[in-house]
Structure 1
């Protein structure tokens, strides 16, 4: 099996965000000023506890255990309380409603639960500007100097448009339509270059009981939508959609995207929507591995 990426998204996908939840007596993540400057550590023997909550993504949990171990080793007076779950919103929401917030929350926007958006609306985020000025752990370069230009100049990271950054990328990666090249070779099918080619392939695939398309969760489908908007109308259309410009969906360029998505549903695996949730999304990914679906938007 040869998995390939057909279309690289024109904009980088903010897969996960770092959110500093505001506390009563600080604007920064507890202990954050010690994160990259060990010589400034407090000399007290009393340990400080930092609570970090994170979504368990396809990368698993082991990476978080390694991060915690490295951080605690570097900062002897800090103990990290770590919560990593696939359904992190369900786990954390009751505590947060009771006023018990994690110091750092790693969770993407555009998720079904909308917890990150809720915190934004309730002004529950603390500024991350100080973090951007710190050096990357183990490196002699500031965080802000390692990010791509303009990456912290959008509503995705600065939701209050006040010049400060409240959400930051944990990493960014290309996303696109992944497919099994061996499957196409086996059937003598060409890789489509246009949407007309895509739907022609969809008809051929259905004759073999194979569906053209699936997606893991809505957030990954959104990456395809954003690329389609950019391809149809360039940055102007993309930005107008992002800020809900009145009448934008009635334009020819936007309608073309909607009509294409509507046609795509005719070739989408019927189990996709039912599985597109935090617990079952791997079943949709498995459809591609099992040759039951051809294309799937996904990250690295």
Structure 2
């Protein structure tokens, strides 16, 4: 069962998970072809044959982009692609965007970079890509849109204005939820919990095995959305999720809020439930502690194994993915998904060639190359099987579980008013640290967020966005 939320997919967590790897940035021009004409293998002509591409360089690296650019230039003789890659890609492209001279094509990810996408959306400064997805795929038959995972192009992650037009093309997608040591569970005959009652019942098992129940990336409490968002949907359905993401203040007085955040409050207050020192740990420290057997569960995404491939761990450790438990036994375990985005600025100098390059990225050859070089999985049907040879068995199993029917949900916040002082993610997730260290009650937190949402709504009305 796939639950395709009608809200936009977000890339904050994928960005956090992709901040490993080669951090060197800069520009490079892939091997320049000697052919001077502008024809492709199919005979297509381009008046402008130069393409400037800017990409986020995190855990996925840049090798895929350099290689696919070389392949494209080989198949389209006479074209020239220049790749600029950096972990701080927004800092490099923002002055160009402000000056009206943006790159022709951009892959933007990472929490420090994605606000630039919000700005482009608010300014309506992105190219309509609908024609790319309505055009025939590489087989020349069905339209390309039929190859994309269900619900993605229809969500605000691709259609931010809700008008059915695609302005942001899907790239890699991740699956997020709770992880555990599969080897321990198999050896001890422990069943992965499917409900929150079963989850908390495992606290006794955790103690018996010399560990605490739960940890998370304490200095980056945004990781907790990986369990919060699916639980909101599980309790309150799409209506509650829409309230949460569309800044309805009444969400913070709802039974859904009380149930979902009640899980966090119970973790904070129940003996042995929260791993000691969690709140002061960064992501790699908490993840290492989990792998060393200090806690039973941790939230994370499909980048987890590759990100921590060199980290110490307890003997025999194996990554196991649970998803997120439900409150009721008759409801499914649900995973959170996110989809990264590719865009062509409205003021790009070469949108025609940029669209052709975008379409090229969805070819089977590119999907396999992306998996080989970056260990990423594109948001296209069948991508897990195409990537299987290049990703770990446990990572494949996570993607395959979603491909085979594990419940999924995705979503992100509606854009705030231009110039707003509020970052919704920060307003919601940062105070959770105070809940976990018992300095902030749920009632105080609820009142705080009710005021934030009310102020955001006021700003939207004053800005004419409502």
State TM-score, norm by structure 2: 0.49
* Equivalent pair of 1:14/1:169 in contact (CA under 8 Å): no
* Equivalent pair of 2:134/2:143 in contact (CA under 8 Å): yes
| 180-189 vs 67-76, which moves further | 180-189
> Which of 247, 253, 271 in structure 1 is aligned with 2:256?
253
The Cα shift of 1:112 comes to 4.8
C-alpha distance in structure 2 between counterparts of 1:119 and 1:141, whole Å:
31
Matched length: 268
* Equivalent pair of 1:36/1:138 in contact (CA under 8 Å): no
C-alpha distance in structure 1 between counterparts of 2:226 and 2:167, whole Å:
22
Pair 1:237–1:258, CA change in 2 (3 A): same
State TM-score, norm by structure 1: 0.71
C-alpha distance in structure 2 between counterparts of 1:282 and 1:36, whole Å:
46
**Secondary structure of 1:51 counterpart:** strand
* Equivalent pair of 1:129/1:164 in contact (CA under 8 Å): yes
C-alpha distance in structure 2 between counterparts of 1:223 and 1:180, whole Å:
18
For 1:39, the equivalent position in structure 2 comes to 43
C-alpha distance in structure 1 between counterparts of 2:179 and 2:118, whole Å:
29
C-alpha distance in structure 1 between counterparts of 2:39 and 2:267, whole Å:
47
The Cα shift of 1:220 comes to 5.0
Pair 1:151–1:9, CA change in 2 (3 A): closer
For 1:66, the equivalent position in structure 2 comes to 67
The Cα shift of 1:252 comes to 0.6
* CA displacement, residues 69-105 of structure 1 (integer Å, 9 cap, x when unaligned): 2111111222111123333334433443444422222
C-alpha distance in structure 2 between counterparts of 1:178 and 1:227, whole Å:
15
* Equivalent pair of 2:52/2:83 in contact (CA under 8 Å): yes
For 2:182, the equivalent position in structure 1 comes to 181
For 1:233, the equivalent position in structure 2 comes to 236
C-alpha distance in structure 2 between counterparts of 1:74 and 1:127, whole Å:
25
The Cα shift of 1:268 comes to 5.7
Pair 1:205–1:242, CA change in 2 (3 A): same
1:88-167 maps to which residues of 2 (within 5 A)?
88-108=89-109, 111-113=111-113, 114-137=115-138, 140-167=141-168
* CA displacement, residues 107-156 of structure 1 (integer Å, 9 cap, x when unaligned): 248x3552222222222222111221234457754221112444322323
The Cα shift of 1:228 comes to 0.9
Q: Give RMSD over aligned pairs.
A: 3.7
**Secondary structure of 1:102 counterpart:** coil
The question of 1:242 aligning with 2:245 is answered yes
* CA displacement, residues 150-187 of structure 1 (integer Å, 9 cap, x when unaligned): 43223232222333211121143543322211234566
C-alpha distance in structure 2 between counterparts of 1:203 and 1:291, whole Å:
15
**Secondary structure of 1:39 counterpart:** coil
**Secondary structure of 2:159 counterpart:** coil
- Structure 1: which 5+ runs fail to align? 1-7, 18-33, 276-280
C-alpha distance in structure 1 between counterparts of 2:138 and 2:40, whole Å:
5
* CA displacement, residues 190-237 of structure 1 (integer Å, 9 cap, x when unaligned): 422322332343465478354513259666543432211111112222
Pair 1:229–1:161, CA change in 2 (3 A): same
Pair 1:81–1:168, CA change in 2 (3 A): same
* Equivalent pair of 2:217/2:281 in contact (CA under 8 Å): no
**Secondary structure of 1:241 counterpart:** helix
* Equivalent pair of 2:232/2:241 in contact (CA under 8 Å): yes
> Which of 262, 267, 280 in structure 1 is aligned with 2:274?
267
* CA displacement, residues 47-73 of structure 1 (integer Å, 9 cap, x when unaligned): 732122222343332222221121111
C-alpha distance in structure 2 between counterparts of 1:77 and 1:39, whole Å:
12
